Chain A
Amino acid sequence: MTARAAVVVFPGSNCDQDCVRGWKAVTGLSADLVWHKETSLPDYDLVIVPGGFSFGDYLRCGAIARFSPVMAEVARLAGRGSLVLGICNGFQILTEAGLLPGALGRNRDLRYLCLDVHLRVENAGTAFTGGYRPGQVIRIPISHGEGGYSLSPREHRRLVDNGQVVFRYCAPDGTVAPGQAPNGSLDNIAGIINGRGNVLGLMPHPERLAEEELGGTDGRALFSSVLAAMKGGL
């Protein structure tokens, strides 16, 4: 089978090439770069919405990108069961587009945060995390100013009950204390998945630690999990 992957590029995206490289480094497969003006995409198995500052982050992060023509195609592919992965600004765009619940707001301490954080894998049963162990602690960088996740109490309850919280910020030993998230995220949430299990968004950047020479490989399993899921017919 040939798994087809694409990385969407908006004006202001800056992690698109990193995602292409990370995907290739882990899976050996190429990924197409797709400009945000595209109105028709082939039936990709994986679409990555990458990090960056789409449209300068004007108004709200992702608020303008969600109206780019390509987003209708991303929604169509999500609807047909393709995997959609939103990283950082990509996560913000997916929430603005309504493909994932909740919203991402200003970091608690108003600072742009660029550092490695520890994450606990809360759900290792998804198409994106099958290569991790349940409860595994991984080290992945964050790089954002607006990563504070918020959600209504009712939706939050549903998310937790359905196992849709996939990653939480944690201490190096895996403990999750209130307020652990450096950005003030609700319930220390770092990454979530939709109810169907094919759209994942996370603020940390797995593509930045997917090769030994970059200083770590904890991000690799995310890409290898996706490939394994594709081979298993999703």
Chain B
Amino acid sequence: MKFKANVKVMLKPSVLDPQGATLERALRSMGHDNVSSIRVGKLIELVLEAGDEEEARRAADSWADQLLANPNMENHSLTLEQVK
């Protein structure tokens, strides 16, 4: 079975996010005073083959731990869907 995984990688709340801060200032300078708490992350899409959804989730999750995210400064979350 083939699954498409979306791995969302975000800086931990405790880690400074200069990109988010810059975007927030930019939006405010455009007059959007109602914006706050911008954080910039990464979305990594991949397709993998696995016996079932659970196996696919375990694999993608371990790849995120090993390489796609740095657990020292980032958190990740995962969504999966079966594809043909």
Contacts and interface: CB of A to CB of B under 8 A. Distances in A.
Contact of B18 (A64, A95, A107): A107
Contacts of B11: 105
B16 A184 contact: yes
Interface in B1-41: 11, 14-19, 22
A108 B17 CA distance: 8
A105 B22 contact: no
Contacts of B17: 106
A148 B17 CA distance: 10
Interface string A9-35: 000000000000000000000000000
A184 B18 contact: yes
Nearest to B44: A59
A187 interface: no
Interface of A is mostly: loop
Given A59-B67, A63-B70, A110-B22, A105 B14 contact: no
B73 interface: yes
B68 interface: yes
B67 A148 contact: no
Nearest to A155: B72
Contact of B72 (A64, A95, A106, A108): A95
B72 A103 contact: yes
A212 interface: no
Contact of A108 (B14, B18, B67): B18
Interface in A107-128: 107-110
Contacts of A102: 72
Interface of B: 11, 14-19, 22, 67-68, 70, 72-73
7 contacts: A59-B68, A63-B67, A96-B70, A102-B72, A105-B11, A106-B19, A109-B18
> Considering the complex of A and B, which 9 residue pairs feature the smallest CB-CB distances, nearest first?
A103-B72, A103-B73, A150-B15, A110-B18, A106-B18, A108-B18, A103-B70, A150-B73, A184-B16
